Structure 1
Amino acid sequence: MVRAPDPAPAEAPDGISASAARAARDLRVVFSRLRRRIREVARDEDLTPSQVSALTLVGKHGAATASALASAEGVRPQSMAAILAALEQHGLIRRSPDPADGRRQLVALTESGRERIEDDRQVREEWLARALADRYTEDERRTLIEAFALLERLTRQ
Structure 2
Amino acid sequence: MDDSRDGAEGADGVDGISGSAARAARDLRVAFNRLRRRIREVAETEGEAQDLTPSQVSALTLVSKSGAATASGLAASEGVRPQSMAATLAALDQYGLIERNPDPGDGRRQLVTLTDAGRERIEGTRQARAEWLARAFEDRCTEAERQTVIEAMAVLDRLTRP
TM-score (norm 1): 0.92
Amino acid at match of 1:69: L
- Alignment partner of 1:64: what SS? coil
- The count of aligned residue pairs is 150
Q: Given the superposition, is the C-alpha separation of residues 122 and 10 from structure 1 closer, same or farther in structure 2, using an over 3 Å criterion?
A: closer
Higher relative contact order (CA 8 A, sep 6+): 1
Identity over the aligned pairs, expressed in percent? 74
The reply on whether 1:111 has 2:116 as its aligned counterpart is yes
TM-score (norm 2): 0.89
Q: Given the superposition, is the C-alpha separation of residues 16 and 10 from structure 1 closer, same or farther in structure 2, using an over 3 Å criterion?
A: closer
Aligned residue number for residue 150 of structure 1: 155
The reply on whether 1:28 has 2:33 as its aligned counterpart is no
Q: Given the superposition, is the C-alpha separation of residues 152 and 10 from structure 1 closer, same or farther in structure 2, using an over 3 Å criterion?
A: closer
Question: Structure 1 stretches (4+) deviating beyond 3 angstroms?
Answer: 8-12
Give the one of 129, 133, 138 matched to 1:133: 138
Alpha-carbon displacement from aligned partner over 1:24-74 (angstroms, at most 9, x marks no partner): 110000000000000001121211111111100110110100000000000
Separation in 1, partners of 2:69, 2:11: 47
Aligned residue number for residue 18 of structure 1: 19
Cα-Cα RMSD: 1.3
Separation in 1, partners of 2:90, 2:69: 15
Separation in 2, partners of 1:84, 1:147: 38
